[in-house]
Amino acid sequence: MLLLVPTPAPATARRWRVGGAAPCVRCSSLRELERSPSPRPGARLPPLREAKRVVLVRHGQSTWNAEGRIQGSSDISVLTPKGESQAETSRLMLLSDSFDACFTSPLARSRRTAEIIWADRNEDLIPDSDLREIDLYSFQGLLKNEGKERYGVLYRQWQKNAANFSIDGHYPVQELWDRAQNCWERILAHEGKSVLVVAHNAVNQALVATSLGLGTEYFRILLQSNCGASVLDFTPRTGGPPSVCLNRLNQTPNSPVASGSSGGRKTSKRIILVCQGATQDSAEISLTGLGYAPLNMLGMIQSQKTAELLLDQKVNGILCSPQVAAVDTATTICEVQEAADCLGADCVPRYVEMKKLLELEIDDAFQTKQKSFGEIAQSSWLGSMEYKTLQGLWAQSKDAWQALLNELPDDTSTDTTLVIVAHPGVHLALICRCLDLTMEHMSSFHLDDGSISVIDFPDGPKGRGAVRCTNYTAHLGRWSIPITRTTETDEEF
């Protein structure tokens, strides 16, 4: 139930609404604990002696990408001029990183992308045949409409149930997952602390998924765009496989909110998770609590930059935490949205509804650092106050995620974009809810202040969400955290 809260109407006639009843944290927590645990992230990875960062990059646009032709592991297509330009943008984005090695698919479109990014570095490229694109056998070389006409039901299975798709006696996605697991053995065995991997859409999806312990059902869920970069951090653990954190997913040369498909499918429903801007240090805040901490100067800049990124995106609604920093960030986005169509002298401002949702609140204990999530979620001290607080956040996120889905209409004929503004910790939980993971997986993702993450729903709100990107910060310009920040200077998550 949503309760109307009367407020003085500003010039833009904006109204605030507050989401109502708080969830029964205790009951929800008990239900969540009854779930069977998901595979532990990194459980099948080899042990490490020291921390390692791996940056995955998909090749630039190819001639067959442009034609809409099914490539698979064929080696006929080459980079288009646009693809070469995308690779050059990626080179500049990664220029300051001191990579120790570059693994690449042997296929021409990937190898050429690697050559552009690697440029004048002294080390040789390391080709690995297991990094080739997914083997699609008889489908390879066909235009997509030809695949539909020639193969009918089989092509529909490839589109709707790829994990169990079989062709010419093979299960392509299952074979791909096995190859990706083999690749990690060689990539993580390399002595370098920072490794670049240049490959393809499907194989990069498989590399991300297998590192996190996710199965073939996650194919087309963790998207990879042309020259999109994904960053994985591996931290040694005593007597076992490393811990894994997806620092960011699919940071692209172009805007992540630009119109387009999700995994090759059209989508009309989208949720954009916006992390509130940076706040004043806790030492500067009164005893009223960190929930009242306003944005600092950096946070104000981050909010404005995010509003500008979303300027060309028609936002249908904004939901935010009732805490001050989230409200201030949401207000900035709303004001820019309402002014977007108001460039003429006789314009009428566009109304964007804003709601404060109580389920998006976060406890003061988690306001300062994300470090607690990883430590507490993996802790065996289940009775600790910190663990109970995290359980409360996790239970609350279930209600929050359902509330967000309820805001998306089932009608597929109209585009709907919702912006959700909250603390990074809340969004970590929401991403795990979207992916149907457990509370323990919250430490497998990282989000920075001012970042955005995008979730598309090609099958509508009742279908699975496809994560287009996480922790995108390129829009922050000089105020962003470099994509290849070294692990030595990272704050531990």
| Active-site hit among 84, 133, 200, 427 | 133
Q: What are phi and psi of 457, to 5 degrees?
A: -130, 80
Dist. CA 240–CA 335, nearest whole Å = 50
Dist. CA 484–CA 54, nearest whole Å = 9
Dist. CA 294–CA 316, nearest whole Å = 26
Dist. CA 134–CA 122, nearest whole Å = 30
Output the six-digit token pair for 348: 């009428």
360 touches 400 (CB < 8 A): yes
Phi-psi region of 137 (alpha: psi -120 to 50; beta: other; left: phi over 0): left
Tell me, yes or no, if 175 is annotated catalytic: no
Residue 79: DSSP 8-state = B
Residue 61: DSSP 8-state = P
Dist. CA 205–CA 172, nearest whole Å = 14
Q: Which amino acid is at 333?
A: I
155 touches 148 (CB < 8 A): yes
Question: Any idea of the CA torsion for 312, 428, 232, 74, to the nearest 10 degrees?
Answer: -60
| Active-site hit among 32, 34, 59, 441 | 59
Helix (H/G/I), strand (E/B), else coil: 41: coil
Tell me, yes or no, if 59 is annotated catalytic: yes
Dist. CA 486–CA 98, nearest whole Å = 9
Contacts of 41 (CB under 8 A, 6+ apart): 211, 212, 213, 243, 244, 441, 444
Burial (CB < 10 A; 0-12, 13-18, 19+), residue 489, is exposed
CA angle 374, 48, 131 (to 5 degrees): 100
Please give the positions annotated as active site. 59, 133
